[in-house]
Amino acid sequence: MKNTTKIIFPYDQSVVKELPLIDKGSVERILTTAYNLFIDQQNWISAFKRIEILEKAALIMKDRSEELIHIAISEGGKPYKDSKAEILRAIKGVKLAAEHILHIKGEQIPMGLTEASVNRIAFTSKEPIGVVAAVSAFNHPLNLAVHQIATAVAAGCPVIFKPASSTPLSGIALADILKEAGLPEGWLQVVLCDNETAELLVTDPRINFLTFIGSAKVGWSLKSKLSPGTRAALEHGGAAPVIVESDADFSEMIPDLVKGGFYHAGQVCVSVQKIYVNQEIVDLFVDQFSEAVQKLIVGNPFDENTDVGSLITPKEVNRVEEWVNEAIEEGAKLIAGGKRISDTTFQPTVLLNPSEDSKVSKYEIFGPVVCIYAFASREEAIKKANALEVHFQAAVFTKNIDVALDATKKLNATAVMINDNTAFRVDWMPFGGRDASGLGMGGISYTINEMTREKLMVFKSKSL
């Protein structure tokens, strides 16, 4: 009897589908298929054909957008309005991948600058890096798949895609669409497997590039075991700090931060988590922020009015509840929420001044919880914001350009949003963590570039 994985609707824990897992014996076949396609350049898909495939795939996705929304909700539990936004982003991502193929190019390297380099002309070209292993996360099941699969197709690489075991259906749907759009057999293989089998696959020497989205513990462990020469891009989480100064515009800021904190029940790697507010306005901020949070509708993600859906598993609800209770016991003031609604949902929660030693202050919450800290000194707030090992995206709210530039310079982050929440992202911008939060930069064009490598060609001729 083959091992299987059950895909569960997070909101009511009903079984959506049950799929087989591959065993270790299948790994060799999968790797051989991908590797043989790559080493024989006659198999390579020409640039114009890759453009055709991706453009057709985007059209199919658009035609089936409601079906893709339904799939994403059923496996991930993200509310309808947010799942719809994800699917539209995913379609745009596939289009961006097709468009970037035009920009996969090298450059001329100057010669004749020394006597030894005369009579030569040189230029670089870009080639596919090789077989890509892509390991994905649960929280954006279609859009993350696009960022790891469509980019590999655009770069001309065979790709082996391992979706999160809880949310594989969107990736499988994308694979079916790409096949329908003309992607030849073997260029994309979707594998469902346990962690041990996944490690066996991604650490094989025939893997040229690993793209990993998930926990830091797993990501850094896999990187340490990669074969020599295998390149990697890792995207982990953060604790998204926000600095709010006394001149911030409340009418813009409050709805923006509420959305950034509770989108997908906070299960976003750049979700607003820690808000440092100037003590001159902290009471007003707490009142308006908590009032807006308490208006959020928690419920069935298929309901178009739902703002906050379920967490991915009941285990995560238990963890969030424990962290919140611990924070309150250690001195945090509960401003809003704080309790589970059901086995799968938790109230949008606001905590004021939790201890810096509480888990909600030290680690990524990945749940519907936002912490507010009053500060007297912006320097001290930034110091606390930078104190964790994780550094991803941050934000500052102020109308003073000097304050904005000062905070941007001093915050340890790969991106700082000014008068916008930390969860802002468009798929053509660079996106990724630094330090413990990751390695390399995501974003459609940036990932495609990561999946290529340069080759230098030098011509020597007396005629030059």
14 and 133 in a single domain? The answer is yes
Tell me whether residue 430 is in a domain.
no
pLDDT of residue 234: 96
Contact 264, 230 (CB under 8 A): no
Angle of CA points 428, 433, 439, to nearest 5°: 95
Active site residues: 235, 269
Pick out the chain residues at pLDDT < 50: 1
248 and 226 in a single domain? The answer is no
pLDDT of residue 2: 66
Contact 75, 168 (CB under 8 A): yes
Tell me whether residue 401 is in a domain.
yes
Which structure tokens are listed for 453? 């490598």
Please give the residue range of the domain that contains residue 309.
241-418
DSSP, residue by residue, 79-121: -HHHHHHHHHHHHHHHHHHHHHGGG----EE---SSGGG-SEE
Number of structural domains found in the chain? 2
Predicted confidence (pLDDT) per residue in 244-257, tens digit: 999 999 999 999 99
Burial 103-117 (b: 16+ CB within 10 A, else e): ebebeeeebeeeeee
108 and 201 in a single domain? The answer is yes
Q: Of 57, 75, 65, 212, whose CA–CA distance to 137 is shortest?
A: 212
pLDDT of residue 37: 97
pLDDT of residue 1: 46
Tell me whether residue 205 is in a domain.
yes
Contact 274, 260 (CB under 8 A): no
Which structure tokens are listed for 150? 């469509």
Alpha-carbon distance of 153 to 177, in angstroms, equals 13
Helix residue ranges, H only, 107-225: 143-155, 169-180, 195-202, 216-224
249 and 221 in a single domain? The answer is no
Tell me whether residue 274 is in a domain.
yes
Tell me whether residue 428 is in a domain.
no
pTM comes to 0.95
Alpha-carbon distance of 370 to 223, in angstroms, equals 31
213 and 111 in a single domain? The answer is yes
Tell me whether residue 463 is in a domain.
no
Q: How far is CA 119 from CA 124, 125, 239, 455, in A?
A: 17, 20, 56, 20
pLDDT of residue 120: 97
Alpha-carbon distance of 81 to 88, in angstroms, equals 11
144 and 214 in a single domain? The answer is yes
212 and 247 in a single domain? The answer is no
Contact 313, 264 (CB under 8 A): no
257 and 380 in a single domain? The answer is yes
Instruction: Report the CATH number at residue 38.
Output: 3.40.605.10
256 and 199 in a single domain? The answer is no
